[in-house]
Each structure stands twice: as structure tokens, then as C-alpha cells.
């Protein structure tokens, strides 16, 4: 041994990577090809997991090589290495599969239909661009990630539907096919979607974001507000158009089977695995052409035209110049006489407009329903991160790259899935953009866009030398045109006001007023007597509360107490039918409170104290839930038959290790990039849960989902303890098991809270905060940033995994939908921002609010059905007002036909579930408006000194 290690040391350290990669290559090769190698010899691993690990080992070899190649080369070679990397990795993936299939003696074929792949890539990039360009523009000028961008796009689709149903255009859509493409409706829809969505964007910006900007709200607050806005828009679309699917038909001829351009194509068949005489690559040319539908062409062309116009505005007009100025430095722009608010309006108009236009064109391809936008939102974020976030050309390039990645990976996944008994593998195509993005960020931590930016800077330097021709004429023309447009719009609006104010508007106002009055009296009747008491209480206590400074330790605790008291009061007052069900209800609230608090604590450690924007809460929670589920499911149903305790400890430790390991390649990424990497990890795990058979347990047929796993202390609880608890709290029989889970969950929550507060008040906690405030200064003080970040990630991951395990027990089954970010990560983020980042009391209150909101609004939702439920009489008034909005107010905008399409039964009623969605969105928006720092902001340490100490934030 000594001889070996001495010799190893003699090898220059620079070559150790070579030995490592050679070892990885040879070991994985013999493993895959001949079933030997290190992983097989150990004998612990069997079956599918063995070759999965061996394949990963082979890919790890590739990554070591690539990493070395990129890092050690410079200049043009570096660029070459970067470009060659995806090709190399793709070929390595093919080689891995080939070796694996040879080992297994299977053959499979990847069908690369050249036209299909390139046109599909084109379609995907256009679809991603519809959302991504708007996102990038908002990021550039207004400096926040807009989660509502996909909903704005969807609004564009619905504008197209409204246009189609209008009396003017319906004949075109309804006419039978005549063999001639009619462009009128499509073009009119696209343009009106652009204008209407643009104005909606401006209205949202002025009403929601402007007040926040005035209070210097952080980008994170704006982002979470946009989450609320997204919920409200989606809820409004649900309310107005119902959940139904509609098809936008610009003219029948657009949507016939024959409505496509036939593109001649060739097919490259890649034969992989145990080949007998067949060549590796086989080119087939005598195949039918690929049909690219007219509507897809319209999307691609429309989106590209819109983006070129945007580029023109950005780079060749005064407005664009101003926008770029505001983007670079708002304060400087403001002092140079630019009206920053106007620029914000222009930017919101353009970003919402382009997305809306894309939405209208996309409606001609896809069936439209209110859930359409979400599936494009996360890939669009991936696109803008790849394209350096704020650069429009970068976004275009990135959209093409990601489109190509997706299109190329699809045949590979289908072929490999068929051969390896994983037919669901095609589902992974959805996450290939994320995997690709993570790969890119690992190699180039500053992103693709940075490279592009550097290149652009040098190009502009060169351009400056040759004095370019000015385009004053065009810019002047644009200014004149826009002024003319403003005057015209004003005139029309004034004109309309004159006509309407006399007749219609007056009637409407009187009508709505009477409805509201009726509603008001109804509410008063119901609550009048309580109101007086409560108002008195408020009058008595408000002045006291106002004096409290929430940013001191004492004030924070008092305010926490008040809020907690209010929330507990509401929980107690929630209606129920019997004492037993009330106990169940409270237990469920407490159990969820514990889980959501744990997840928010985890996020608070990552994002609140260490300053890493973690959007992968559900990734770590998912590790906990999935592992606990699979490990403690019975062996005969693909589980491992562990006890819950071992499974939980293992899951928590593994999550911590994964958190630790993730830190090293990712912690140096800038915040937005780190956010997209973590959210991608979550999505990858979610899709794996759908597609990977190893992540299924609980049934003998290995059906999707994880179920049937052991619950903690269940047998002990049922063996008599439930009876004693039941009789102790006065229940007729056994106490429900959820009571045990609630106790477990809240105790673990408090225990964790206590441990975290100990850790954070230790020197280590102060190091984390110093990293959050300024990494470089912290590093100068001698702290190893990376290892502290890794420790923080590991700790947070462990807590999240614990929360995930509790969640799995509460739900009794883990399904892929469980990991959908809108139901987990985004909610936890809402807790984090609304509660007040950097303050665990805030996390607890925020979690309580988010949990309780669901229960409170559910009471409203069920009220319609039965006259003895609370709020039942309110529903009548709500429907009256809604009907008035749809028929009388909305009737000015949309046609009768559009109402009948959405409400075919002739009665216009407001589905209260959608109202609930809107109200949850509003709670987020309003809470952040009231308290942009969160309900319980971080208590900053202020040394007791005179003067200006502690002011410097």
C-alpha cells in the first residue's frame, strides 16, 4: 500500500484527473459491457439501479474530461471546447447506451427524422420565446422575475377567442372550408392581443408594482407579488371562460389535415446495441415528407416579427435608448431627465404585448384552457437564464438552443426507453432543457449570456470607431407616431365617455350600487352584533399595537403573539359538524402548520440567512417524502420494508449530503442562476417520479406513485393508546390518528426552531449573515464561503426532508402532482416573503396564514350548495354582481356568443373555487402591499451607539 500511495504522490497533481477519468471510464465500461467492475463486485446493488449508476459513472467520466478541457484551454480553444462539449456528451451518451445494450444483448434504433427534428425545434423555440422575451424585458427594465408572464400570454389566447366569437369575425371562423387561407381573423387577433395585453400589463404595473417600487421593495417581493398576480389572472380567466377547452379557429382552412407545408425529409436511423451486420448509421431517404402546419408557421413568423420590432425599438429609437438607460442605472437615468415611471410603463406594455401576441398565435395551434400557460413558464425561465437573463438576442439564441436540445433528445429517450423497459422515458423530454441548462451553468458559472455580452461589448467598441449612420429619421417618425396615437386614443376615450356618461354608465353605476348595498346589509345583518364588540376591542388595542416597533426583539414577540392569537381564534371558530370532526380539523391544521413551518425554516436558512435564492424547497422535501415512502413500503410491492425511523434518518441524512454536494458546483452561481438550478432539480425529480419505475412503490404492478408505506407509531397508536387519548379529550371513541401526526409534526417543528435559533445565534449564524450581506468582505475575514454555504444547504436540506417525510405521512401517498411547484415551492416562498424573511417567527405566522387561508376559503366554496351553510345567502349576491359584470359591463366588450360558449347552460354563476384562487392571490398581494418587509421583519442587530450606526443597509 505504501508503495502505491508513494508512487501516486509522485505523479504530478495535474495528472490525477487523468487517472480518475481513466478509472471511471474503464470501470463503467466493463461494468456496462460485461457486468463486472467495482459497482457490480460489491454485490449490494442489483437490477436496474446498477446499470443506472454505471451509466452515470460513464457520464461522470465525460464531465471530468470536459471540465478539464474547458478549464485548461484558453482563447479560441476554449470557445471550441465549449461548442464541442454538447456534441461530445451527446456522443458519449450514445456510446454508453450502445455499451449497455451490447451487454444486455438488445438492439434499439433512434429515428432521427431530420425535418421533424429541426421544425419541431423551431416550434419549441417560438413557443418558449412567447413567454421568455417578455420575461427578459421585465427583468431588464423592472428588475424582477415575473411569474405572471405565462398568464399574460394566456390572456392573449383568450383575446383571440373573444375576437373569434365577435359578430364581426365569427362568420370567418364558422365558414366551411373553401381552400383559401383567410388571414383577417388571425392578424386582427394577434394585433388586438398585443394591444390589450399591453394595456393590461401597464394597468397591473401601475396598480400593483408601482406602489411597491415607491417603497423600494426588493426584487423578491416584486417576484412573489407577481405570483399573486398570476393567481388572480388565472382565477379571472377561470371565472370568465370556465375550465373548458376551446379551440381558436382563424378559418377552417388553417386547421385541416392538409393545412401544412410538406417538407421533404431524410431519416437517420442510429442502430445501437448488439448489432448483427447492421451499420451504426443508416440513412433512409424514401420516406414521406414532414408536414409543418400553417398555424405553426404563423407562430414562428409572428413571434419573430414581434421580436424584431422589439429589437428595433430597443436599439434604434429614443424610447429604446431610454429603456436601456433605465435598465443600466435608474437613478442616473432619472437625473438625466428620463421619466422612469413612463419607461416602466413602456416596458410593461411591450413585454406583456409580445407575450399576448404569442398567446394569440399559439391559440391557433393548441387547445386553450386556463392551465395552458404554466407548462411554458419554467422552460421560459430556463431560456432566459441560458440567454443571460436580460439580453434579448441572448434569449433568442437560447430559445433556439433549448428547442434543439429538446427535439434531439426526444428520439433518443424514446429509443432508449423502449430498449430498457422504461417506456415512460419519453416524458423526460420535458426536463431536458433543465438538465442541459444545469450542465451549461456548471461549465460556465457566469452563463452563456456573459460570453455573448463580452463579445457584444467588443463588437460595439469596434462599431463606435466607424461612426455609424444615424437613424434620426426613423426615431423621429416613431415619436411623432406615438404622440399622434396618444392624442387619438385620448380623443376616442373622451368621446366615449360623453356618450356613455349620459345613459349607460349611469344605469350601471346605479345597478351595481344597489347590489353592493344589498350585499352590505346582508353582511351587516349577519355580523352586526359581533362587529361592535370587535371594533371596541380594536379601538382599545390598536393604539397600543401601533407603538410597537416590530424590528425590536420585544416588539416582534408581542406582534407574533397578537397574530398567533388571531390565527388560533380563527382556527377555533372554523365551522364543523361535531366535536370529533372539529378535533380532526384542528389536528389537520396543526399538522400542516408544522410541515409548512419546517419547509419555511429550511428556506429561511438558505435564502433568509445565507442569501442563496433557493427555489428547490420541494426538491429537498421531495427527497424526504420519496425516500421515506419507498424505503418503508413493503418489499413485495417494490419497497424496501424498512421501519419508519430508519427510513426517516436515512432520508434526512441523504438530503443533507445531497445539499452539501450540490453546494460545490452551484454555490458560486449568482442568485438567479442558483434559483433556476434548484427549481430545475425539483422538476427533474417530479418528472422522474412520473417516468422512473424505481421510484414507484406500494402496488404489486409497480403502478405510478408511492403508497402503502408504513406510518409512524400507527400500530402502537391503534393498540389502545388511541382509546385512552380519545377518552382523555372527551371523544366518544378512538382519537383520530391525525392527532398523533399533528403532535409529532408540531413538536418536530418547535424542536427544529429551537435548534436553528441556537445555531443562528452562534458565531456560525453570524458568519452566514455576513456571507449574505457581502461575500467578499466575509472572505477577507478568513471564512471559507463555500464550506459555510455547503453547511447551510445541508442543514436546510435536512430540515426540508424532515418536513417532506411528515408530509408523506399526512398524505399517505406520494404522487408526482405533489411536487408541482405551484403547490409547494411557490407557496413556501409566499410564506417566506409574507411572513418576513430572516425571522423564524415570521415563517411560523406565514405558514399559519397560508394553511388557514385554504380552510377559510373552502368554507366559502362549499356555501353555494346548501342553505344551512354559512355564506349561502351571500352566493346569490355574488352571482348577481358577477352576472352584471359579465352581461352588462362585459357586454360592451364581448359578444353574446362568447358568454354562451363559456356558460352553455344559460345561467351565469361564479364558481367559488375560482374566487378562492383569486382571494389567495389577493392575500399575497395585499399582505406585501401592507408590509413589504413581511409581517414580522428580521430583527437587525443594532449596537447601542449614538449617531448613524446601523443605518447602512
Partner 1 sequence: MKIKTIYLVVLSLAIFALAAMACGSSGGTYKIGLLSPQTGPIAVYAPGFEDAANVAIAELNDNEEGNVFELVVVDSGCDGTQAATAAQTLIDSGVVGIVGAACSGATLGAIAVAAEAGIPMVSYASTSPAVTTASDNGYLFRVVPSDAQQAIALTAVVADGGDTNPAVVYMTNDYGSGLADNFAANWSGDACTTNAYDPTEGSYDASTIAQSVIDAGCDSAVLISYATDGAAIIEALKGQGFSGTIYGADGIADAAFADAFTDAAAVAGVIATKPRPGAESSVQATFNSAYSAAGGDAEGIYTHETYDAVKIIAHAALEGSDDIRDDLASVGSNYDGASGVHTFDSNGDVAGTGYEVCQFDPAFTCTRVWTASGGLASQ
Q: Which of residues 553-612 bind partner 1 (CB under 8 A)?
A: 559, 562-563, 566-567, 569-570, 573-577, 580-582, 584-585, 588, 592
Mark the segment that binds partner 1 (CB under 8 A) among 28-36, 88-96, 135-143, 250-258.
250-258
Site membership for partner 1, residue 123 (CB under 8 A):
yes
**Can residue 638 be called a binding residue for partner 1 (CB under 8 A)?**
no
**Other beta carbons less than 10 A from residue 776's beta carbon:** 9
Q: What are the C-alpha distances in Å from 849 to residues 760, 789, 822?
A: 25, 30, 17
Cα distances from 520 to residues 314, 524, 859, 926, in angstroms, run 50, 6, 19, 22
Shorter beta-carbon distance to partner 1: residue 361 or 407: 407
Interface mask toward partner 1 for 280-319; x: CB under 8 A: -------xx-xxxx--------------------------
Q: What is the residue-wise DSSP string for 269-336?
A: EEEEES-SS--SEEEE--SPPEEEEHHHHHHHHHHHHHHHHHHHHHHHSHHHHHHHHHHH-HHHHHHT
Cα–Cα distance for residue pair 452/400, rounded to 1 Å: 15
Q: Of 881-910, which residues contact partner 1 (CB under 8 A)?
A: 904-906
Task: Single out the residue of 522, 551, 775, 911 in contact with partner 1 (rule: CB under 8 A).
Answer: 911
Q: Could you give the CA distance from residue 939 to residue 950 in angstroms, rounded to a whole number?
A: 12
Give 315 or 823: the residue with its C-beta nearer to partner 1. 823
Shortest distance, position 624 Cβ to partner 1, whole Å? 15
Report if residue 817 touches partner 1, rule: CB under 8 A. yes
Nearer to partner 1, 213 or 668 (CB): 213
- In the complex, what is the shortest distance from the CB of residue 57 to partner 1, in angstroms, rounded to a whole number? 27
Q: C-beta of 309: minimal distance to partner 1 in Å?
A: 24
Q: How far apart are CA 802 and CA 817, in angstroms?
A: 19
- Rounded CA-CA distance 747/392 in Å is 50
Count of residues that bind partner 1 according to CB under 8 A: 139
Could you tell me where the DSSP H helices lie in 73-167? 75-104, 114-141, 149-165
694 near partner 1, judged by CB under 8 A: no
Q: What's the gap between Cα 15 and its chain centre? A: 42
- Closest contact distance (angstroms) between CB of 923 and partner 1 is 9
Per the DSSP assignment, residues forming a β-bridge with 707 are 813
* Cβ neighbours of residue 456 closer than 8 Å, sequence gap 6 or more: 391, 393
Q: Is 519 in the site for partner 1 (CB under 8 A)?
A: no
Cβ-Cβ contacts under 8 Å for 199 (sequence gap 6 or more): 349
Counting Cα atoms < 13 Å in the Cβ hemisphere of 855 gives 25
Hey, how many other C-beta atoms are within 10 angstroms of the C-beta on 32?
Answer: 28
Residue 242 touching partner 1 (CB under 8 A): yes
- Report how far apart the first and last C-alpha atoms of the chain are (Å, whole number): 57
Q: Of the candidates 67, 73, 260, 334, which one interacts with partner 1 according to CB under 8 A?
A: 260
**47 Rama class: left (phi>0) / alpha (psi -120 to 50) / beta:** left
Residue among 154, 157, 155, 148 at smallest CA distance from 208: 148
What strands, in cross-sheet order, belong to the sheet with 281-284? 107-113, 267-273, 281-284
175 scored as a contact of partner 1 (CB under 8 A): no
407 binds partner 1 (CB under 8 A): yes
Give the integer Cα–Cα distance in Å for 713 and 38.
Answer: 39
Give the one residue of 182, 334, 418, 475 binding partner 1; rule: CB under 8 A: 418
For cell 413567454, the residue is 131
Half-sphere exposure of 680 (CA within 13 A, CB side): 28
The interface region with partner 1, picked from 19-27, 29-37, 58-66, 534-542 by CB under 8 A, is 534-542
Q: Which of the residues 703 through 742 are near partner 1 (CB under 8 A)?
A: 703-705, 707-708, 736-738
> Which region among 68-76, 308-316, 449-457, 816-824 touches partner 1 (by CB under 8 A)?
816-824
> How near is the Cβ of 331 to partner 1 at its closest, in Å?
27
Q: How far is CA 28 from the centre of its chain?
A: 36
Most distant CA atoms of the chain, gap in Å: 101
* Interface with partner 1 (CB under 8 A), residue from 353, 358, 816, 846: 816
Residue 371 near partner 1 by CB under 8 A:
yes
Which of 21, 28, 96, 116 is in the footprint of partner 1 by CB under 8 A? 116
**Interface residue with partner 1, options 256, 261, 489, 497 (CB under 8 A):** 256
| Nearest residue (CB) to partner 1, 25 versus 619 | 619
Tell me the C-alpha distance between 54 and 56, whole Å: 5
706 in Cβ contact with 629 (< 8 Å): yes
Name the residue nearer to partner 1 (CB basis): 383 or 691: 691
- The phi and psi torsions of 271 (rounded to 5 degrees) equal -95, 125
Between 869 and 881, name the residue whose CB sits nearer to partner 1. Answer: 869
Contact 571, 592 (CB under 8 A): no
Work out which of 3, 473, 530, 540 binds partner 1, going by CB under 8 A: 530
Q: Does 372 bind partner 1 (CB under 8 A)?
A: yes
Q: Which helix (H) or strand (E) holds 111?
A: strand 107-113
375 binds partner 1 (CB under 8 A): yes
HSE (CB half, 13 Å, CA atoms) of 442?
20
Nearer to partner 1 by C-beta: 3 or 540? 540
Nearer to partner 1, 666 or 707 (CB): 707
Binds partner 1 by CB under 8 A, chosen from 78, 183, 195, 427: 427
Least spacing, CB of residue 356 vs partner 1, in Å: 16
CA distance 833 to 835: 6
Give the interface segment with partner 1, choosing from 16-24, 307-315, 425-433, 765-773 (CB under 8 A).
Answer: 425-433
| Interatomic CA distance for residues 803 and 79, integer angstroms | 44
Segment 199 to 238, residues that bind partner 1, using CB under 8 A: 238
Does 411 contact partner 1 by CB under 8 A? yes
Within residues 840-879, the interface with partner 1 by CB under 8 A covers 854-856, 858-859, 861-862, 864-866, 868-871
Would you say 672 or 710 has its CB closer to partner 1?
710
User: What is the CA 89 to chain-centroid distance, rounded?
Assistant: 28
Site for partner 1 in 924-943 (CB under 8 A): 926, 930-931, 935
Q: Among 857, 871, 859, which Cα is nearest to 914's?
A: 857
Distance CA 523, CA 530 (A): 11
φ/ψ bin of 75: left (φ > 0), alpha (ψ from -120 to 50), beta (otherwise): left
- Assess 691 for contact with partner 1 (CB under 8 A): yes
Nearer to partner 1 by Cβ, of 654 and 704: the residue is: 704
Indicate the residue among 95 and 111 with the shorter CB distance to partner 1: 111
**For residues 363 and 155, is the Cβ–Cβ distance under 8 A?**
no
Tell me which stretch binds partner 1 (CB under 8 A): 13-21, 316-324, 372-380, 483-491.
Answer: 372-380
The minimum distance between CB 513 and partner 1, in angstroms, equals 22
Binding-site member from 162, 270, 656, 810 for partner 1 (CB under 8 A): 810
Under the binding rule (CB under 8 A), the answer on residue 127 touching partner 1 is: yes
Q: Exactly one of 534, 635, 657, 949 binds partner 1 (CB under 8 A); which one?
A: 534
Least distance CB 85 / partner 1 (angstroms): 25
Q: What is the rounded distance in angstroms from the CA atom of residue 248 to the CA atom of residue 271?
A: 41
Q: For partner 1, which is the closer residue by CB, 240 or 252?
A: 252
Q: Which is nearer to partner 1, 308 or 581 (CB)?
A: 581
Using rule CB under 8 A, residue 701 touches partner 1: yes
Give the nearest distance from C-beta 130 to partner 1 in angstroms: 10
Nearer to partner 1, 393 or 555 (CB): 555
Amino acid at each position: 500500500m505504501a508503495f502505491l500511495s508513494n508512487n501516486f504522490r509522485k505523479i504530478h497533481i495535474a495528472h490525477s484527473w487523468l487517472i480518475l477519468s481513466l478509472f471511471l471510464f474503464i470501470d463503467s465500461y466493463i461494468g456496462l459491457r460485461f457486468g463486472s467492475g467495482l459497482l457490480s463486485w460489491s454485490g449490494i446493488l442489483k437490477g436496474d439501479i446498477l446499470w443506472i449508476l454505471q451509466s452515470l459513472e460513464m457520464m461522470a467520466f465525460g464531465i471530468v474530461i470536459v471540465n478539464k478541457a474547458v478549464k485548461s484551454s484558453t482563447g479560441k480553444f476554449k470557445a471550441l471546447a465549449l461548442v464541442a462539449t454538447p456534441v461530445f456528451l451527446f456522443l458519449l451518451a450514445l456510446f454508453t447506451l450502445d455499451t449497455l445494450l451490447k451487454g444486455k444483448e438488445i438492439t434499439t434504433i433512434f429515428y432521427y427524422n431530420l425535418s421533424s427534428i429541426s421544425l419541431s425545434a423551431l416550434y419549441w423555440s417560438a413557443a418558449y420565446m412567447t413567454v421568455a422575451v417578455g420575461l427578459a424585458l421585465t427583468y431588464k427594465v423592472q428588475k424582477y422575475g415575473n411569474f405572471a408572464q405565462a398568464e399574460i400570454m394566456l390572456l392573449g389566447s383568450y383575446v383571440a377567442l373573444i375576437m373569434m366569437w365577435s359578430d364581426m369575425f365569427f362568420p370567418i371562423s364558422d365558414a366551411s372550408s373553401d381552400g383559401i387561407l383567410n388571414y383577417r381573423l388571425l392578424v386582427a387577433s394577434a394585433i388586438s392581443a398585443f394591444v390589450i395585453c399591453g394595456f393590461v400589463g401597464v394597468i397591473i404595473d401601475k396598480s400593483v408594482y408601482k406602489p411597491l417600487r415607491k417603497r423600494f421593495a426588493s426584487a423578491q417581493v416584486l417576484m412573489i407579488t407577481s405570483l399573486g398576480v398570476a393567481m388572480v389572472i388565472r382565477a379571472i380567466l377561470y371565472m370568465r371562460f370556465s375550465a373548458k377547452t376551446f379551440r381558436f379557429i382563424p378559418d377552417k382552412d388553417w386547421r385541416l389535415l392538409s393545412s401544412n407545408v410538406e417538407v421533404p425529409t431524410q431519416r437517420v436511423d442510429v442502430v445501437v446495441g448488439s448489432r448483427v451486420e447492421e451499420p451504426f448509421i443508416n440513412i433512409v431517404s424514401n420516406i414521406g415528407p414532414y408536414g409543418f402546419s400553417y398555424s405553426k408557421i404563423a407562430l414562428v413568423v409572428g413571434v419573430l416579427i414581434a421580436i424584431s420590432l422589439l429589437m428595433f425599438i430597443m436599439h434604434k429609437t429614443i424610447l429604446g435608448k431610454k429603456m436601456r438607460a433605465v435598465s443600466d442605472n435608474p437613478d442616473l437615468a432619472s437625473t438625466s431627465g428620463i421619466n422612469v415611471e413612463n419607461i416602466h410603463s413602456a416596458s410593461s406594455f411591450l413585454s406583456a404585448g409580445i407575450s399576448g401576441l404569442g398567446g394569440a398565435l399559439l391559440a391557433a395551434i393548441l387547445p386553450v384552457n386556463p392551465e395552458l400557460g404554466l407548462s411554458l413558464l419554467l422552460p421560459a425561465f430556463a431560456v432566459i437564464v441560458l440567454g443571460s437573463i436580460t439580453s434579448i438576442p441572448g434569449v433568442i439564441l437560447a430559445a433556439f438552443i433549448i428547442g434543439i436540445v429538446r427535439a434531439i433528445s426526444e428520439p433518443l429517450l424514446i429509443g432508449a426507453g423502449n430498449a430498457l423497459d422504461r417506456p415512460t422515458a419519453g416524458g423526460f423530454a420535458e426536463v431536458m432543457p433543465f438538465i442541459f441548462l444545469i450542465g451549461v451553468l456548471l461549465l460556465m458559472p457566469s452563463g452563456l449570456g456573459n460570453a455573448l455580452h463580452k463579445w457584444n461589448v467588443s463588437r460595439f467598441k469596434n462599431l463606435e470607431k466607424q461612426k455609424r449612420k444615424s437613424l434620426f429619421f426613423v426615431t423621429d417618425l416613431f415619436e411623432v407616431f406615438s404622440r399622434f396615437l396618444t392624442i387619438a386614443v385620448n380623443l376616442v376615450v373622451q368621446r366615449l365617455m360623453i356618450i356613455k356618461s349620459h345613459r349607460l354608465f349611469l344605469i350601471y353605476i346605479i345597478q351595481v350600487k344597489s347590489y353592493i348595498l344589498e350585499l352590505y346589509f346582508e353582511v351587516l345583518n349577519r355580523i352586526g352584533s359581533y362587529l361592535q364588540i370587535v371594533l371596541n376591542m380594536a379601538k382599545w388595542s390598536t393604539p397600543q399595537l401601533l407603538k410597537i416597533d416590530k424590528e425590536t426583539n420585544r416588539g416582534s414577540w408581542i406582534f407574533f403573539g397578537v397574530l398567533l392569537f388571531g390565527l388560533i381564534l380563527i382556527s377555533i371558530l372554523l365551522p364543523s359538524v361535531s366535536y370529533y370532526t372539529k378535533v380532526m380539523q384542528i389536528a389537520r391544521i396543526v399538522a400542516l402548520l408544522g410541515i409548512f413551518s419546517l419547509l419555511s425554516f429550511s428556506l429561511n436558512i438558505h435564502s433568509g440567512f445565507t442569501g442563496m435564492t433557493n427555489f428547490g424547497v420541494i426538491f429537498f422535501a421531495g427527497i424526504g417524502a420519496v425516500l421515506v415512502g419507498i424505503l418503508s413500503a413493503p418489499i413485495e410491492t417494490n419497497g424496501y420494508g424498512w421501519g419508519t425511523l430508519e427510513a426517516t434518518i436515512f432520508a434526512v441524512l441523504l438530503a443533507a449530503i445531497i445539499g452539501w454536494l450540490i453546494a460545490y458546483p452551484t454555490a458560486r452561481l449568482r442568485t438567479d442562476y442558483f434559483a433556476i438550478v434548484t427549481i430545475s432539480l425539483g422538476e427533474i425529480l417530479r418528472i422522474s417520479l412520473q417516468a422512473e419505475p424505481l421510484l414507484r412503490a406500494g402496488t404489486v404492478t409497480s403502478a405510478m406513485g408511492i403508497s402503502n408505506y408504513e406510518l409512524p407509531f400507527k400500530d402502537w397508536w391503534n393498540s389502545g393508546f388511541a382509546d385512552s387519548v380519545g377518552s382523555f379529550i372527551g371523544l366518544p371513541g378512538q382519537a383520530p390518528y391525525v392527532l398523533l401526526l399533528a403532535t409529532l409534526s408540531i413538536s418536530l417543528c418547535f424542536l427544529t426552531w429551537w435548534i436553528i435559533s441556537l445555531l443562528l445565534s452562534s458565531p456560525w449564524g453570524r458568519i452566514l449573515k455576513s456571507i449574505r450581506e457581502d461575500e467578499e468582505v466575509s472572505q477577507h475575514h478568513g471564512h471559507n464561503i463555500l464550506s459555510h454555504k455547503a453547511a447551510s444547504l445541508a442543514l436546510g436540506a435536512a430540515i426540508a426532508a424532515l418536513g417532506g417525510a411528515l408530509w408523506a405521512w399526512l398524505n399517505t401517498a406520494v404522487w408526482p402532482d405533489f411536487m408541482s411547484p405551484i403547490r409547494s415551492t411557490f407557496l413556501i416562498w409566499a410564506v417566506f416573503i409574507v411572513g418576513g424573511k430572516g425571522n423564524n417567527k415570521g415563517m411560523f405566522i406565514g405558514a399559519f396564514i397560508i394553511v388557514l387561508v385554504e380552510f377559510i376559503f373552502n368554507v366559502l366554496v362549499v356555501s353555494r350548495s346548501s342553505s344551512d351553510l354559512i355564506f349561502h345567502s351571500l352566493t346569490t349576491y355574488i352571482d348577481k354582481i358577477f352576472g352584471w359584470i359579465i352581461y352588462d359591463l362585459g357586454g360592451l366588450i364581448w359578444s353574446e356568443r362568447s358568454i354562451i360558449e363559456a356558460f352553455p347552460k344559460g345561467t351565469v354563476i361564479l364558481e367559488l373555487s375560482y374566487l378562492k384562487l383569486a382571494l389567495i392571490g389577493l392575500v399575497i398581494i395585499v399582505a406585501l402591499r401592507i408590509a413589504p418587509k413581511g409581517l414580522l421583519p428580521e430583527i437587525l442587530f443594532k449596537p447601542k451607539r449614538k449617531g448613524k450606526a446601523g443605518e447602512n443597509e
